[in-house]
């Protein structure tokens, strides 16, 4: 509550200060225009107070308008009273001006964007329609009605009122619409001297044109065009305002050359030259602004493309339809061992292995013929040192508006290491897919996906706000480019360590980062807008123009979800028996070693048991190996149900199983294993209308201090052998001699 009170007080003080400043400005502008009336003896073709109030209505919130407009009316009234003496008209005319300003300002609110009121020539046309034409006619009609002057009865008064307001709005309106303190400070800091010199030169040329040139207003248009072409919008409109004020003074005090051919026209209709000078200059200013904006957009687009290509983790190149390298990035130069200049003197055919060249050229011709949109293939390139490198090549074609091919975009990823380890990868894949052919095909598709995956590219401006996203970035973030443009990067991307871990700090902070490619992170996760998650690697690089000016940054993100899932499954396969889904011998021995190490010199607290199936070979011989595999899976479930939650059951090989019973007394362990043996003997296995029954023999040993894993395994194996020797279906405990 205290904070809200302080903010309210501060806002009120600011409004009062602004109202005082507007009162002084209105007083000054009104005094200037009234002096012109006093000198000339009729309504001057320039009135600035009403346009000022119109801009106030457009730019300020409704809650602040009463105080601000009261300041404007007070300033106008004081100027009238000072120059014309006390009279009721000193209040009546400002109130008419206020009504006209409210009408014009509300029209501008409906017609223009508050954030960018003069962003285009169309916006300027809307300003002219609302505030330059309709509002002055409304004010003239209102004044004629209140003063009992009919437009038909006194057309000179009506037209003079309208024209003076029109010229005033054209002169001061664009300046008021574009005025921002931050913009003014930036212009003065960057181009202050140029603006000052251009303004002084313009005013001097205007003076000389009106004094000595036969057709001065034709020259005036040319002079204002120079400022329109040379200066930014706000500076150009400010120069126009000063130029119009100077021209008005010259005409009012009759300082123009008297022998000019159009001097009589200036005396009769002085507002026509104003319009002829202002309107073309305004249009040229906005056309130049649009041209500069388009040029900046093209430069930034080229810089984004260049940096996205240059800092890509894989090789990228632009290739002519005939095969010449047009542009290459550093990753490709490192891959092939050539410098950029050397590659540009060569063709891709020269570096391609002969066995791969025909397929590559054939697909390139199909792409040129329009038979496909893109293609990819694995191929071999010759490095500069003569070595062969395997690469995954993805190619697309860029055409001009007439459909003529311009160049190929090639992405070349080094897969040599993967090819060298292809044999081992295939064996691992075969082990994972023996039980299910469908799973095999799924993993093959995943393998292909990992080889052809693309990267997400996001560009930002200097304030880390998004200004570019490629389709992959749109898919991974869940934001379309037009939705994300202008938003902070931290709002678009949420990256954590793990799916539910803490967010990565200082990654998406405001302010441009230095170029960075982090070490491999095994747990970075991107959460997109639709609650989807991607395991990622990323790199960050600043964007600069050719002059070294910073214009933003580029972030490249690679989706590594598939590869991380593959590693998890391979790890599971390496530690489990794929038939029974129980831990395998390697995993069992590792757990045994950890228990022995944990045991230390303390008395035995753990028990090891070996289980060997009886009559299992008979089932294999009579019913087949498929029946034997099914029986092993059923018995694995039966035995697991007899153990405690923290006990470990593993398949050691064939029909042999091992059991680790941690924190278990020997007597308790004997009872557990006896129940397990009994459950195996009681189990009936049905296969193809035949019933089979097997048994089990078990050997137990305590894990005494000083035992090694191999010694414990030997003791349990000997005890199991004794149990089978004693008649099978028995349980034997290792005893020291």
Q: What is the pLDDT of residues 432-446, one digit of tens each?
A: 565 445 444 554 553
What's the rounded Cα separation, in Å, for the pair 565 and 481? 29
The edge-to-edge listing of strands for the beta sheet with 405-414 is 325-328, 315-319, 405-414, 388-399, 374-382
Q: 168-177, 253-262, 416-425, 507-516 — which one is most confidently predicted on average? A: 168-177
Q: How far is CA 165 from CA 22, 45, 151, 162, 292, in A?
A: 19, 8, 16, 5, 31
> Six-digit token pair at 345?
């003197």
Whether the Cβ atoms of residue 734 and residue 715 lie closer than 8 Å to each other: yes
What is the b/e burial string over 370-401, where b = at least 16 CB atoms within 10 angstroms of the residue's CB? eeeeebbeebbbeeeeeeebbbbbbbebeeee
Whether the Cβ atoms of residue 527 and residue 494 lie closer than 8 Å to each other: yes
pLDDT in tens, 546-580: 677 777 888 888 777 777 777 677 667 667 778 88
pLDDT for res 103: 92
Instruction: Region of 575 please: left (phi>0), alpha (psi -120 to 50) or beta.
Output: alpha
What's the rounded Cα separation, in Å, for the pair 276 and 263? 15
pTM over cut 0.75: no
> Looking at the predicted structure, is the pLDDT value of residue 451 above 50?
no
Which of helix, strand or coil describes residue 581?
A: coil
> Looking at the predicted structure, is the pLDDT value of residue 448 above 70?
no
Which of the residues 356, 655, 704, 717 is marked catalytic? 655
> Looking at the predicted structure, is the pLDDT value of residue 719 above 80?
yes
pLDDT in tens, 605-650: 789 999 988 888 888 888 888 888 888 888 889 889 989 888 889 9
Share of the chain above pLDDT 90, in %: 5
Closest CA to 609 of 574, 661, 653: 661
**What residues pair up with 503 in beta bridges, in sequence order?**
496
**Other beta carbons within 10 Å of 471:** 12
**C-alpha dihedral, 145 to 146 to 149 to 151, nearest 10°:** -30
pLDDT for res 700: 93
Handedness of CA 166, 171, 172, 175 (dihedral sign): positive
Q: How far is CA 370 from CA 325, 365, 373, 384, 398, in A?
A: 21, 9, 7, 34, 11
| Least confident interval from 425-429, 466-470, 534-538, 667-671 | 425-429
Share of the chain above pLDDT 70, in %: 82
- Per-residue confidence band for 519, with pLDDT thresholds at 50, 70 and 90: very low
**Residue 655 known to be catalytic:** yes
Query: Which residues, 6 or more positions from 654, have their beta carbon under 8 angstroms from its beta carbon?
Result: none
**What residues pair up with 495 in beta bridges, in sequence order?**
526
Q: What own/partner pairs with CB < 8 Å and gap ≥ 24 does 565-573 have?
A: 565/446, 566/443, 566/446, 566/450, 569/432, 570/428, 570/432, 573/428, 573/431, 573/432
What's the rounded Cα separation, in Å, for the pair 466 and 483? 10
Which of helix, strand or coil describes residue 3?
A: helix
Which of helix, strand or coil describes residue 41?
A: coil
In 320-424, where do the E strands start and end?
325-328, 374-382, 388-399, 405-414
Which of helix, strand or coil describes residue 150?
A: coil
Instruction: Region of 150 please: left (phi>0), alpha (psi -120 to 50) or beta.
Output: beta
């Amino acid at each position: 509550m205290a904070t809200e009170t302080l903010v309210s007080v501060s806002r009120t003080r600011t409004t009062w200060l602004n109202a005082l400043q507007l009162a002084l400005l209105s007083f000054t502008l009104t005094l200037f225009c009234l002096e012109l009336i006093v000198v000339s003896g009729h309504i001057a073709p320039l009135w600035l107070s009403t346009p000022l109030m119109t801009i106030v209505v457009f730019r300020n919130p409704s809650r602040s308008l009463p105080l601000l407009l009261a300041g404007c009316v007070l300033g106008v009234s004081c100027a009238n009273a000072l120059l014309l003496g006390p009279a009721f008209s000193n209040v009546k005319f400002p109130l008419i001006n206020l009504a006209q300003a409210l009408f014009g300002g509300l029209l501008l609110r409906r017609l223009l964007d508050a954030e960018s009121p003069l962003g285009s020539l169309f916006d300027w046309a809307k300003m002219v329609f609302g505030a330059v034409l309709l509002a002055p006619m409304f004010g003239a009609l209102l004044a004629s009605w209140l003063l009992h002057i009919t437009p038909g009865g006194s057309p000179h008064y009506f037209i003079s009122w309208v024209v003076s307001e029109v010229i005033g709005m054209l002169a001061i309106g664009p300046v008021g619409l574009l005025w921002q303190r931050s913009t003014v400070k930036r212009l003065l800091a960057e181009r202050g001297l140029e603006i000052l010199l251009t303004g002084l030169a313009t005013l001097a040329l205007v003076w000389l044109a009106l004094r000595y040139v036969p057709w001065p207003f034709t020259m005036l248009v040319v002079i204002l065009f120079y400022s329109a072409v040379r200066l930014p919008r706000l500076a150009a409109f400010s120069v126009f305002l000063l130029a119009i004020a100077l021209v008005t003074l010259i005409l009012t005090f009759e300082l123009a050359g008297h022998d000019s051919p159009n001097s009589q026209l200036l005396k009769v209709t002085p507002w026509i030259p104003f319009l002829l000078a202002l309107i073309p200059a305004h249009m040229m200013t906005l056309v130049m602004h649009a041209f500069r904006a388009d040029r900046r957009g093209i430069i930034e687009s080229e810089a984004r493309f260049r940096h996205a290509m240059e800092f890509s983790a894989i090789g990228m190149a632009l290739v002519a339809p005939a095969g010449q390298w047009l542009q290459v990035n550093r990753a490709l130069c490192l891959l092939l061992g050539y410098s950029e200049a050397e590659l540009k003197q060569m063709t891709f055919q020269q570096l391609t292995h002969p066995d791969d060249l025909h397929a590559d050229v054939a697909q390139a011709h199909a792409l040129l013929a329009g038979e496909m949109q893109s293609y990819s293939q694995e191929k071999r390139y010759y490095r500069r040192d003569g070595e062969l490198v395997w690469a995954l090549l993805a190619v697309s074609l860029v055409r001009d508006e007439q459909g003529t091919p311009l160049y190929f975009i090639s992405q070349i990823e080094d897969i040599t290491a993967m090819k060298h380890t292809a044999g081992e990868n295939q064996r691992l894949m075969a082990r994972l897919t023996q039980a299910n052919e469908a799973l095999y095909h799924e993993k093959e598709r995943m393998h292909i996906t990992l080889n052809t995956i693309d990267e997400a590219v996001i560009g930002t401006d200097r304030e880390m706000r998004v200004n570019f996203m490629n389709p992959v970035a749109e898919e991974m973030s869940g934001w379309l480019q037009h939705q994300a443009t202008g938003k902070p990067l931290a709002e678009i991307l949420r990256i954590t360590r793990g799916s539910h871990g803490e967010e990565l700090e200082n990654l998406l902070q405001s302010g441009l980062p230095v170029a960075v490619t982090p070490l491999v992170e095994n747990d970075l996760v991107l959460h997109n807008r639709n609650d989807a998650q991607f395991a990622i690697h990323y790199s960050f690089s600043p964007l600069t123009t050719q002059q070294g000016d910073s214009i933003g940054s580029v972030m490249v993100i690679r989706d590594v979800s598939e590869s991380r899932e593959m590693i998890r499954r391979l790890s599971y396969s390496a530690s489990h028996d794929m038939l029974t889904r129980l831990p395998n011998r390697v995993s069992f021995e590792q757990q045994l070693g950890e228990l022995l190490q944990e045991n230390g010199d303390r008395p035995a607290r753990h028990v090891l048991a070996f289980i060997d199936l009886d009559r299992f070979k008979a089932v294999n011989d009579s019913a087949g190996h498929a029946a034997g595999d099914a029986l092993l899976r059923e018995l694995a479930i039966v035995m697991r149900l007899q153990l405690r939650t923290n006990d470990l059951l593993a398949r050691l090989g064939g029909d042999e199983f091992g059991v680790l019973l941690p924190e278990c007394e020997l007597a308790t362990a004997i009872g557990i294993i006896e129940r397990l043996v009994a459950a195996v003997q009681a189990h009936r296995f049905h296969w193809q209308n035949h019933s089979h029954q097997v048994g089990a023999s078990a050997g137990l040993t305590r894990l005494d201090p000083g035992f090694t894993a191999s010694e414990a395994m030997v003791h349990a194996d000997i005890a199991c052998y004794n149990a089978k020797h004693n008649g099978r279906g028995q349980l034997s405990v290792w005893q020291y001699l």
